[in-house]
């Protein structure tokens, strides 16, 4: 059985490989977590034994609490492994591997073609690199949501804020133009609590097979 640290190291080395990350998530859920949960139930039975001395019961309860906390942390790891399964999220996660900043990705990504990724990835990388090099942040979160035929993306950090955002050097004009060329918009809020970028992009219509067939008749 792989230890938690070994599994996480394996996930970082193989981050671009969606299948590997999915397999690691399954290994954690179906193996390590299930074993720990069963172990916790066994401890509950021992704790309830009438002949157990109070000091020993107290020590076993402490172990039970530790086991519960480990399960909670492992479930968080599984969530992260499953959330960064898309190429866009995985590419950003790679940027943060050698930094001290915690990366989180939340939400779903719509179906994208190669042109979508080539348009959006430079924008997301620009924001992420600014956070890494200038923000002094401890965490960076990208949240993705689909609503009313639009894709809402939020990129936020808890860094020093506006002091690090200099439009000429940061390329803010450039990334606004990239988003505008896709029919979307970008807004930024920055203060002493950090910086947040909000991107709104209309979802492309994907023609149905039946529609294309009927049009050719």
pLDDT in tens, the chain (217 residues): 444 444 444 444 434 444 566 567 677 777 888 889 899 999 999 999 999 899 999 999 999 999 999 988 887 777 665 555 467 787 888 888 888 899 888 877 787 777 777 888 889 988 998 899 888 899 999 988 888 889 999 999 998 876 455 544 557 888 888 899 889 999 999 888 899 999 999 987 543 334 444 444 3
Dump the DSSP string for 80-121: HHHHTTSHHHHHHHHHHTTSSPEEEEEE------HHHHHHHH
Fold for the domain defined by 87-202: Heat Shock Protein 90 (3.30.565)
The helix, strand and coil proportions of the chain, stated in percent and rounded to the nearest 5, come to 60, 20, 25
pLDDT value of position 196: 93
**pTM (predicted TM-score):** 0.55
pLDDT value of position 148: 87
Residue pair 140/180 in contact by the 8 Å Cβ criterion: no
Instruction: Indicate the domain borders of the chain.
Output: 4-83, 87-202
Alpha-carbon torsion 7, 8, 10, 15, what sign? positive
123/126 Cα distance (integer angstroms): 5
26/191 Cα distance (integer angstroms): 40
């Amino acid at each position: 059985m792989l230890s938690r640290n070994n599994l996480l190291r394996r996930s970082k080395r193989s981050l671009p490989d969606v299948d590997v990350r999915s397999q690691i998530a399954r290994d954690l859920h179906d193996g390590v977590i299930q074993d720990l949960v069963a172990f916790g139930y066994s401890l509950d039975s021992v704790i309830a034994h009438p002949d157990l001395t109070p000091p020993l019961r107290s020590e076993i309860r402490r172990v039970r609490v530790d086991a519960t906390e480990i399960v909670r942390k492992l479930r968080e790891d599984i969530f992260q492994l499953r959330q960064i399964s898309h190429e866009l999220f995985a590419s950003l996660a790679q940027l943060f591997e050698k930094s001290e900043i915690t990366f989180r990705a939340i939400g779903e990504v719509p179906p994208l073609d190669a042109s979508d990724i080539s348009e959006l990835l430079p924008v997301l990388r620009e924001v992420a690199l600014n956070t890494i090099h200038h923000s002094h942040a401890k965490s960076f979160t990208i949240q993705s949501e689909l609503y009313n035929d639009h894709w809402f993306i939020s990129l936020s950090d808890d860094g020093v804020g506006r002091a690090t955002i200099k439009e000429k050097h940061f390329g803010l004009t450039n990334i606004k133009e990239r988003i505008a060329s896709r029919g979307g918009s970008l807004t930024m809020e920055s203060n002493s609590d950090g910086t947040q970028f909000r991107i709104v992009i209309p979802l492309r219509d994907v023609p149905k097979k039946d529609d294309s067939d009927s049009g050719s008749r």
